[in-house]
Amino acid sequence: MSQATPYTYDVPCQQCPLRVCEVFRPIGDGEIDFIAKLKAGELRTGPGTTVLREGSPSEHLFTLLEGWAFRYKTLEDGRRQITSFVLPGDLVGIQSSMQAEMDHSVDTLTAAVLCTFPRGRVWEVYKHCPSLAFDVTWLAATQEMILNENLLSIGRRNAVECAAYYILHLYLRAEDVGLVTEGKVRFPFTQEHLADALGLSLVHTNKTLKRLSTRGLMQWEHGWCFIPDVAALAEIAKFDLNQPRKRPLL
């Protein structure tokens, strides 16, 4: 896993490509300018790069502008649990700007662009731009929701329900940021990643996915996932489709 190195500044916040997505709340020019002042630069990485490492302090926190990444923790003997995937618009590393060190690691799955903000200046957001501070908390609370639901899934759903739930979850989140076209999403990760997210073994994950696709509930081939009938998959997954999904843009 290669180590991240800082890079150049390319995308001005005023033209942030994420602003067009419906999920994000409308944001004022004052707020945008404030973010722009805070932005330290961009980090452009290849796939498979460790952006933040469990146990290390971080000088920066990030917003993922482009690409996919994932958060994970490991046990000494190598067992890995992926706690969540990171999609464009997600904030990464707030936790280490509140605590001393990261409690989890973050790796990229694809080439990625991250906006970087100096950890030391987070306080300015709270001091001078309460609406953005509120958004930070909003994002933390939303991440908490995702983790709660995932805990329910791993703890109480069986393999089929759990896999169905997770795929749908990813699909809907990807849809929110405009990554779904004609019912298809790019899934830039392996079955092993999914297994580590579900808390299942790779082999059993494979067999479970096979069952889902045999039943016609989804297709996942060559890195693309297609869901013919979202409601049908939600039924299997015991997924509540009526959750609000609007969120702030940071």
Partner DNA sequence: CGCTCAGTTGAAGCATTTCAATTCTTGTGG
Partner DNA sequence: CCACAAGAATTGAAATGCTTCAACTGAGCG
Write out the residues near a second copy by the rule CB under 8 A: 71, 73-76, 79-81, 83, 94-95, 98-101, 103-104, 123, 126-127, 130-131, 133-134, 136-138, 140-145, 147-152, 154-157, 196, 198-199, 238, 243-244
Q: Does 204 bind DNA (CB under 7 A)?
A: yes
Q: Does 158 bind DNA (CB under 7 A)?
A: yes
Q: State the Cα–Cα distance between residues 147 and 152, nearest whole angstrom.
A: 9
| Window contacting DNA (CB under 7 A); options: 18-26, 177-185, 195-203, 229-237 | 195-203
Report what 203 binds from DNA, a second copy, none; CB cut-off 5-8 Å by kind.
Answer: DNA
Q: DSSP characters for 113-166?
A: EEEEEEGGGHHHHHHH-HHHHHHHHHHHHHHHHHHHHHHHHHHHS-HHHHHHHH
* Smallest separation, CB 118 to DNA (Å): 34
Q: What element of type H or E holds 203?
A: helix 202-214
Q: Within 13 Å of residue 132, how many CA atoms lie on the same side as its CB?
A: 21
* Smallest separation, CB 192 to DNA (Å): 5
Q: Is the dihedral of CA 165, 169, 170, 172 positive or negative?
A: positive
Q: Does 50 bind DNA (CB under 7 A)?
A: no
Say whether 63 sits in a helix, a strand or coil: strand
| Window contacting DNA (CB under 7 A); options: 33-41, 168-176, 187-195, 231-239 | 187-195
Report what 39 binds from DNA, a second copy, none; CB cut-off 5-8 Å by kind.
Answer: none
| Window contacting DNA (CB under 7 A); options: 27-35, 81-89, 164-172, 186-194 | 186-194
Q: Within 13 Å of residue 155, how many CA atoms lie on the same side as its CB?
A: 6
Residue bearing tokens 């999914």: 194
Q: Which residues of this chain interact with DNA, rule CB under 7 A? A: 158-160, 190-192, 199-210, 222-223
